[in-house]
Copies of this chain bind each other. A is one copy, B any other.
Amino acid sequence: MSKGAEMSADRTDPSIRHLLDSEEIRRLIADYAFHMDMNHPKELADLFVEDCEVIYGPGFGAKGRAEYAKTLEGIGTFFEATSHHVSNIVIDFVSDVEARSRTVVWAWHRYRKERPDGHLWGQYHDVFVRVNGRWLFKRRELRTTGVKDFHVKIMHPIGRS
């Protein structure tokens, strides 16, 4: 969304503002997947606020952007390729500068080591904040629906009844 679109959004009524914000948030979610699959650790970290929190599983996550950037260092050498498919995105606005969302993800992983491709089916539960006119991740939590041939064994469950 261009700067012009951003500015005109501020003049419009709340419903249109939410439509424009939702587009930007969906783009942020897509950009995360893109930079993960492209192995762009710097661009990934830049999608998060300084005091972010990332929770991938029990004992696996980060507090703050600097710590998060460190967790990304290994992805280039560990995976031959990954493909993160995000869909089923549902967004709720807490205020004009804070939103929450639930996203379904399927992440396909091809390892550099000789082993079968790893699959993860899960949900991202996110908190976004709008800083200087730009939506960023404040908190990202992965909950896992199931895995197959995946290198991580202990995950936060989705809490299926």
Contacts and interface: CB of A to CB of B under 8 A. Distances in A.
Contact of A117 (B20, B27, B84, B148): B148
A58 interface: no
Nearest to A7: B15
A5 B18 CA distance: 8
A93 to B, nearest CB: 7
Given A15-B9, A23-B22, A85 B88 contact: yes
A132 interface: no
Given A1-B15, A88-B85, A145-B81, A160 B121 contact: no
Contacts of A30: 87-90, 102, 104
Interface string A98-140: 0000101010101000000100011000000000000000000
A143 to B, nearest CB: 10
A125 to B, nearest CB: 11
A87 B107 CA distance: 13
A80 interface: yes
